[in-house]
Amino acid sequence: MSALVRVEGLVKHYPARRGWLTPGRAEVVRAVDGVSFDIAAGRTLALVGETGCGKTTVGRTLLRLVEPTAGRFTFDGVDVFGLGREPMRALRRRMQVIFQDPSGSLNPRMTVGDAIAEPLIIHRLATRAERPARVAELLAEVGLDASFAPRYPHELSGGQRQRVGIARALSVRPELLICDEPVTALDVSVQAQVLNLLRDLQQAHRLTYLFIAHDLAVVRNVADDVAVMYAGQIVERAPVDRLYGAPRHPYTRALLSAVPVPDPGAARNRIVLSGDVPSPLSPPAGCRFHPRCPHPLKSERCAREVPELRDFGGGQQAACHFGEQPM
């Protein structure tokens, strides 16, 4: 069965302005530098990484909110990056997005009802008479009462706003939903409610999710497959149980060990990385993680040779020269 989503060699470079005192080549911010993955219909792929790894940029390029520098995105056989304006608008019905900031992504001057109805108007999915009923239906699906329709975003809590955002995205009955850090800005108890809601909706509508996040515990709860990003590239990709049970890449291991566990008795073997995430203007040569890598077998090969994503069986791939001997 061919995947619903197929991304190949996605690249996004931003031109960085040269300082006027430093002439020379124009610098390039390598936000995304060669990312490939597949998502089968009905599954959830989580894209995980820390600030600056490029995961949010991946989401935005797939939606063509920013145009990619290179790469190919095939959605149900359609080459998305090659579409013209009108076909692209039509395609937007099939892929939608939920943003991280629930208050920012809703127009503060539009009522909840208007915000949810907007996609219905844009894509002509309901007549004027039908809209209120449809909006009430969608509100109910996300667990909100129809009385929310005339309210404004500032009257709602963070969790409620996020539900409105979800209702808005669902109004066009998409097949793919890109969730860009949907629960990061929410309190823990609200986060649980929204995660449960996303799970229920996926089952009810057979949705496919690209779930972008940095919280590994959340990702473990929602994902079927996980791809770990670092400095614009995918360093490890595996089904969720394999990634959490037997990570191969040193960065994945460090990331997992750094997640605080809500259990005072749990053993804490924290791998504390030194230094900071590399600048996307000048990533290290060879393996981008090598300056911070705590792997005991790290050698000058890591500084010289870029590791490719290699297969380790069971659908797990990692980009490390020493993946066979994890730390």
Partner 1 sequence: MTAPVLAVRDLKTYFVTPAGTARAVDGVSWDLHPGETLAVVGESGCGKTVTSLSVLRLVPEPPGHVLPGSLIEFEGRNLLTLSAPELRAIRGNRIAMVFQEPTAALNPVFTVGEQIAEVARVHLGVSRRAARALAVDLLNQVGVPDAARRAGEYPHQLSGGTCQRVMIAMALVCHPQVLIADEPTTALDVTVQAQILELLARKQAELGMAVLLITHDLGIVAGTADRVVVMYAGQVVETAATGDLFAHPLHPYTAGLLASVPRLDGARGRLRGIPGAVPPATAWPVGCRFHPRCPHAWDKCRTEEPPLLDGPAPGQSARCWLVSEPERRKPA
Partner 2 sequence: MSPRATVALLALLAAAGTAVAWARRRALATRAGRRFFGHPAAAWALRVLVFFSLAAALAPLVAPYDPGAQPAIVTLQNAAPSWAHPLGTDVYSADVWSRLVYGGRVSLGVGLLATAIALSVGVGVGATAGYARGWTDALLMRLVDVGLAVPRIFVLLFVVTFWDRISVGALVLVIGLTGWFTTSRLVRAEALSLRERPFVEAARALGASPARIVWRHLLPAAAAPIIVSAALSVGNVMLLESGLSFLGFGVQPPTPSWGAMVADGQGQLATAPWTSFFPGLTIALVVMSWNALGDALRDALDPRPEVS
Q: Which residues 30-69 are close enough to bind partner 2 by CB under 8 A? A: 63, 65
- DSSP class of residue 291 equals G
220 is in the binding site of which of partner 1, partner 2, none (Cβ under 5 to 8 A by kind)? partner 1
165 is in the binding site of which of partner 2, partner 1, none (Cβ under 5 to 8 A by kind)? partner 2
Residues in the chain: 327
Could you tell me whether strands 5-16 and 233-239 are parallel, antiparallel, or unpaired per DSSP bridges?
A: unpaired
Which tokens belong to 70? 């290179």
Q: Binding partner 2 by CB under 8 A: which of 5, 80, 106, 176?
A: 106
Rounded to a whole number, what is the distance in angstroms from the first to the last CA of the chain?
36
Give the ranges where the chain is alpha helix by DSSP (H): 55-62, 85-91, 112-122, 131-141, 158-170, 188-205, 216-222, 240-245, 250-258, 300-304
Nearest distance, CB of residue 179 and partner 2, angstroms: 12
Residue 89 or 173 with smaller CB distance to partner 2: 89
Distance, in Å, from the CA atom of 179 to the CA atom of 183, rounded to the nearest integer, reads 9
Does 217 help bind partner 1 (rule: CB under 8 A)? yes
Residue 100 or 317 with smaller CB distance to partner 2: 100
Nearest distance, CB of residue 149 and partner 2, angstroms: 17
Residue 170 or 222 with smaller CB distance to partner 2: 170
Does 151 help bind partner 2 (rule: CB under 8 A)? no
Does 259 help bind partner 1 (rule: CB under 8 A)? yes
Does 221 help bind partner 1 (rule: CB under 8 A)? yes
Distance, in Å, from the CA atom of 73 to the CA atom of 38, rounded to the nearest integer, reads 10
Q: Binding partner 2 by CB under 8 A: which of 45, 58, 97, 164?
A: 97
277 is in the binding site of which of partner 1, partner 2, none (Cβ under 5 to 8 A by kind)? partner 1
Closest by Cα among 316, 302, 308, 167 to 238? 316
- Residue 278: count other Cβ atoms within 10 Å of its Cβ: 18
Q: Binding partner 1 by CB under 8 A: which of 50, 101, 118, 137?
A: 50
Distance, in Å, from the CA atom of 8 to the CA atom of 114, rounded to the nearest integer, reads 37
Within the chain, strands assigned E span 5-16, 27-39, 44-48, 70-75, 78-79, 95-98, 176-180, 208-213, 225-230, 233-239, 310-311, 317-318
Residue 122 or 217 with smaller CB distance to partner 1: 217
Nearest distance, CB of residue 120 and partner 2, angstroms: 10
Q: Which residues bind partner 2 (CB under 8 A)?
A: 63, 65, 89-90, 92-93, 96-97, 99, 101, 104-110, 118-119, 122-123, 165, 168, 172
